[in-house]
A and B are shown apart, each in its own frame.
Chain A
Amino acid sequence: MGLELVKETWSSAINIVEIGQTKDAGGSRGSIITVGGETGLPFLHSESKTLNKPVTVFEIWDVEPDWPDNLKSPFGKNLKNTLDWAKLCKNEFKAKGLCLRLAGAHPDYGNKTVDELAKLVENLLKQIDLPLIILGCGDDTKDNLILPKIAEVSKGESLLFGSAVQDNYKTLVAAVLADGHNIIAESPIDINIAKQLNILISDMGMPKERIVINPTVGALGYGLEYAYSIMERARLAAFSGDAMLAMPFICFVGFEAWRAKEAKANEQEVPNWGSLEERGILWEALTASTFLQAGADILVMRHPEAVKHVEKFIDKLMEKN
């Protein structure tokens, strides 16, 4: 008698979220990102369907970022101009989507004006036809000024906006809802808050199919296992019918990985850690690969070589097993 594998069958699936609107549908994007639809734990193809491939998107900033040199080098002087940076990601690194972090809006980091940033997004949309994720600067008061304006000027493009948090979600949700975009619901590695925030956002009338969960993750060596277990627990609940956790996950892998000292300490400092060049890339790639196994749908990444490794790994995972 052959070995028979025990297969789990679940009653519910993850919602499907579409980011970006093509010309035919009233937007101006050349392609869209479709995520979600899983009917079981990731990549167990004989047990459930991974309807849509997880995607990587490149993180870009509205100002030159304060990144370590080994992360800046592949982009060169393009980092000084958001549009050049975006073009490089699309043309050279074959990006499937972009995530614009409006770091320069922060009162302590440039304090860019609402109009300035709205203009930037309009230009970006005009010149680059990739689906777009827009992140605020992290200052609630400022974000509540800039994000609604940007939602308005990008109406019809079905972008993904972030982030709604438990103490500050109403303004952003109202803006995103009115202008037909999608929203990131962010919780601090806390499944109870993740669920509660989704309830609060849906109570405002936001369809569940327009919410993406940012569970907040940690890099390899910095709480990765904890974030992994939260995501896994949310998924198990979602597949068992918990509609308030059945949203796709977005993971800010680049943000986390490049904060780790292992990704940026040079060879003189730690000679036995090996090449810094490879180490940084691997730190980001390994962090991303782990969250793919936990159910990540969108990975926001930074280093093009790390993205290349992860894309290859995704293709491998999508093969029948």
Chain B
Amino acid sequence: MFIIGELINGMYKNVREAIAKKDESVIMNLAKEQENSGASALDVNCGPLSKVPVEDMKWLVLTIQKASKLPLAIDSTKPEVIRQALEITKNKAIINSTSADEERLEIYVDMALKYNASLIALTMDKKGVPQDKDARLELAAGIVAFAQAKNFDINNLYLDPIVLPVNVAQPQLKLLLEVLHEFKIISEPAPKTIVGLSNVSQGTCQRSIINRVFLTMAAAHGLDAAIADPLDKDLMDAVITAELLLNKNIYCDSFLTAYRKK
């Protein structure tokens, strides 16, 4: 599973303070810790409260790149913030994210092509998050068709069905798992699938176990990637084991260590 570490986000107090004080060590440690715990990429978000998001994002990118060689998922709602960050990323980056609205796709698909980046696309539009499976699938098909028309490599496209908290939209989670399969048959090559995992347990008292079980269920439904907390060792162990049981890696007695040595 391609795990994008979620901990460098201005929503968290330690990150917010580090940005304010330009304290590089906090950010560099977070980058290193996530990498050492098995993250495949790092999400970077300067947070909704940032008054100078372009500067803050650029500082975060430069700081992280001092500590880690992992690809970065540039996470912002503002195209200009993402564009300026892409200018300075050393490795192939991931744009996080576009919606299914055509005007946003227009901006972000072009941007991904220009900077040879991957693109996360949420299956929601101006009307909000769809309440059923078919509407999500329809938006997903629209995103893929748009990307194909622009000759964007579908291998670099991640579709996010948008996971809602279990205490808000309980009936939807089963449908979300089902739609992961259906996204895969939209095109050949198939788009990749991604979830923002921690959302599923937002506002609950048992966050870790809910995240862990949902991620293993999603893995069994073919999920390719998740934005998650790689420092949650139980979560990482669960996903490594899930992939082992799905025959994605060869068993050996030390399979947990072996996976982390990759």
Contact = CB atoms under 8 A, between A and B. Distances in A.
Interface of A: 191-193, 195-196, 199-200, 202, 233-234, 237, 241-245
User: Which one of A191, A199, A200 has the greatest number of beta carbons of chain B within 10 Å?
Assistant: A199
B251 interface: yes
A8 B158 CA distance: 22
A195 B252 contact: yes
B70 to A, nearest CB: 15
A241 B261 CA distance: 11
B250 A237 contact: yes
A116 to B, nearest CB: 38
Interface string B219-262: 00000000000000000000000000000011111100110011
A230 B252 CA distance: 14
B261 A244 contact: yes
A191 B254 contact: no
A12 to B, nearest CB: 9
A301 B253 CA distance: 33
Contacts of B253: 192, 196
A199 B262 contact: no
A195 B262 contact: no
Nearest to B257: A199
The DSSP consensus for interface residues of chain A is helix
B254 A242 contact: no
Classify chain B: how many residues form its interface, as a range.
10 to 19
Contacts of B261: 199, 202, 243-244
A8 to B, nearest CB: 13
26 contacts: A192-B250, A192-B251, A192-B252, A192-B253, A193-B252, A195-B250, A195-B251, A195-B258, A199-B252, A199-B258, A199-B261, A200-B254, A202-B261, A234-B250, A237-B249, A237-B250, A241-B262, A242-B249, A242-B250, A242-B258, A243-B261, A243-B262, A244-B252, A244-B258, A244-B261, A245-B250
B1 to A, nearest CB: 13
Contacts of B258: 195, 199, 242, 244
A242 B261 CA distance: 9
Contacts of A195: 250-252, 258
A196 B261 CA distance: 12
A165 B262 CA distance: 23
A242 B251 CA distance: 11
A244 B258 CA distance: 7
Contacts of A242: 249-250, 258, 262
Nearest to A233: B250
A187 B262 CA distance: 21
B254 A196 contact: yes
A196 B250 contact: no
A222 to B, nearest CB: 25
A170 to B, nearest CB: 16
Nearest to B251: A192
Nearest to A202: B261
User: Which one of A191, A196, A202, A241 has the greatest number of beta carbons of chain B within 10 Å?
Assistant: A196
A203 to B, nearest CB: 8
8 nearest A-B residue pairs (beta carbon):
A195-B252, A196-B252, A237-B250, A196-B253, A192-B251, A199-B254, A192-B252, A244-B258
A237 B250 CA distance: 7
Interface in B151-204: none
Given A195-B258, A242-B262, 17 more contacts: A191-B250, A193-B252, A195-B250, A195-B251, A195-B252, A196-B254, A199-B252, A199-B254, A199-B257, A202-B261, A233-B250, A237-B249, A237-B250, A241-B262, A242-B250, A243-B262, A244-B261
Interface in B8-22: none
Contacts of A244: 252, 258, 261
A195 B261 CA distance: 12
Contacts of B251: 192, 195
Contacts of A199: 252, 254, 257-258, 261
A114 B30 CA distance: 54
Contacts of B250: 191-192, 195, 233-234, 237, 242, 245
